[in-house]
Amino acid sequence: MYSRRLVKRSILGSRVCAPSPTGDGALLPGVVQAVKLENRETVQGSRRNVYTVLLQDGTLKEYSEEEIVTSPAQMTGKAQLKFKTACTDCEMVTTSQQQEQRKSDINQKNKQKLLGKEEAIKRLDSKKANRIQDHEKDHTCSVSLLEQKHKVVSSSIDVPHARKLSEEVAMDKVTAAMVLTSLSTSPLVHSPPVKVNDGTNESWKEGGFNPSSYSSSGYWSWSAPSDQSNPSTPSPPLSTDSCKPFHIPSQPDDDIDEVDASNLLFDEPIPRKRKNSLKVMFKCLWKNCGKVLSTATGIQKHICTVHLGRSCDSDCSDGEEDFYYTEIKLNTDSVTDGLSSLSPVSPSMDSAPHIFSSTEPGRPESVCMKNESKLSTPLSRSAPSTLYLVHADHAYQVKGLLQVLPGSEAEWCPQTDTLAQTGHPASPPHIRTHGFGEHHPQAHVVLSSPPRAAVGLRKSRGEGKKCRKVYGMENRDMWCTACRWKKACQRFID
């Protein structure tokens, strides 16, 4: 069980390293040309992507997740090494001059190291130097990849420029190497002071990378054109199709947690369209509530008002509600249209992932307990691939989920305001499941509109522990407002 970030990036156009088709085990650099969803499901229920990669040698080959190596910023040490190695192997554009220089550099350092008396210090120096050289390699690699990208793409887009580029390649490389070397000494450079193809910026049109960002951890990254923060270079209009985002999910859908580091570098204005027909919904985790709404703000509002018993002016919120809902990924590959219309991915999606973002300022990262589970619903018959991926980012939630899940309810509540917002007034099927271990012995499916009007008689006394019992009289200030007012508890709803 674990949670995952919502961030889902397109890998199209991304540079990767992939095993050579010759089967010699070598890694070749390439560009992702297409991504398709494999038509089977894994044991975990998550789907897998198949990447079509245009390799350096011009061949097109399909790879699975595991085969390709993506951005170093998203790799673990081993993969990184692999990647670096591959980059080094394919360093065809690096001038032999540079390589010689590097070698002599290394030799020099080694000599110094041997000759020096303070060996420990020298060793440190040497390490540092080596690291710098590694960086240099990486940069060179990215330069080469950039160039490669030019070769691949520019022929159809900007031939004159491509020619110009190849003419200037030698100089550019040297310049780039120098600049990058100097860059490597300053750890926090996020926007490159120099562009490799200086002045023209043509690569932008091609969605090309600028070998730019340098994280403090020493790993470079490819920064998207939109990341250009240089105010003197206005962003050209991005031609939608040629300028894909370059973010590479290290794994398909099920592990986006470690994007954090790259997130900073790779951040983008967020998804246009969700791949894999994934709908993201937000589920209320209050016990026996399980309300599902399509927007984060909606669910926050819901929790605020219904469970926390306070009016939620969106700005007076203390964020507590964040802990009481979770994100649900609903794989709607073959889900009925009714459902799809129920849960249009709201354009306010961009406000959704923030809840799980560790970069969110002012919100302390809570213990990152993770949870993933699959719920089956009676609807499964008509929607065999309907898949819930529930994850909670808070211990409380997990606990709640664990308690609730076995007999949990998956409930689609066409909340009026949400529907009004999204303009889908259709009344979708109302799904409810009850499992074992709950006070609801019989499972039932309700295909009507939510029984919100069923509140009439005096509510029978709830069975669960309420605030008074849970917190005690002495902690009255911890009670929910309703309890404090001797109203029906809204925190522990039965």
Binding residues for DNA, rule: CB under 7 A, are 310-311, 458-463, 465-469, 473, 481, 483-489, 494
- C-beta of 493: minimal distance to DNA in Å? 8
- C-beta of 486: minimal distance to DNA in Å? 3
Within 8 A by CB and 6+ apart from 193, the residues are 179, 183
Within 8 A by CB and 6+ apart from 259, the residues are 5, 7, 9, 74, 247, 249, 250, 266
- C-beta of 471: minimal distance to DNA in Å? 10
- C-beta of 325: minimal distance to DNA in Å? 21
Q: Using the minimum distance from each CB to DNA, give the nearer residue, 3 or 490.
A: 490
Q: Using the minimum distance from each CB to DNA, give the nearer residue, 194 or 312.
A: 312
- C-beta of 322: minimal distance to DNA in Å? 20
Q: How many whole angstroms separate alpha carbon 146 and alpha carbon 148?
A: 5
Within 8 A by CB and 6+ apart from 487, the residues are 309, 481
Q: Using the minimum distance from each CB to DNA, give the nearer residue, 8 or 307.
A: 307
Q: How many whole angstroms separate alpha carbon 224 and alpha carbon 412?
A: 38
Q: Using the minimum distance from each CB to DNA, give the nearer residue, 2 or 471.
A: 471
CB 292 within 8 A of CB 413: yes
Q: Using the minimum distance from each CB to DNA, give the nearer residue, 288 or 343.
A: 288
Give phi and psi for 471, each to the nearest 5: -95, -25
- C-beta of 328: minimal distance to DNA in Å? 27
Please state, in angstroms and as integers, the Cα–Cα distance from residue 361 to each residue in 241, 365, 435, following that order: 33, 10, 39
Q: Using the minimum distance from each CB to DNA, give the nearer residue, 193 or 485.
A: 485
Q: Using the minimum distance from each CB to DNA, give the nearer residue, 452 or 461.
A: 461
- C-beta of 315: minimal distance to DNA in Å? 14
- C-beta of 465: minimal distance to DNA in Å? 5
- C-beta of 227: minimal distance to DNA in Å? 43
Q: Using the minimum distance from each CB to DNA, give the nearer residue, 390 or 489.
A: 489
User: How is residue 283 written in tokens?
Assistant: 């589920």
Q: Using the minimum distance from each CB to DNA, give the nearer residue, 43 or 457.
A: 457
Please state, in angstroms and as integers, the Cα–Cα distance from residue 468 to each residue in 215, 285, 399, 486, following that order: 50, 21, 20, 10
CB 5 within 8 A of CB 391: no
Please state, in angstroms and as integers, the Cα–Cα distance from residue 145 to each residue in 71, 210, 222, 301, following that order: 12, 10, 10, 47
Q: Using the minimum distance from each CB to DNA, give the nearer residue, 333 or 494.
A: 494
Give phi and psi for 110, each to the nearest 5: -65, -40
CB 48 within 8 A of CB 39: no
- C-beta of 241: minimal distance to DNA in Å? 49
Residue 366 corresponds to which amino acid?
A: S
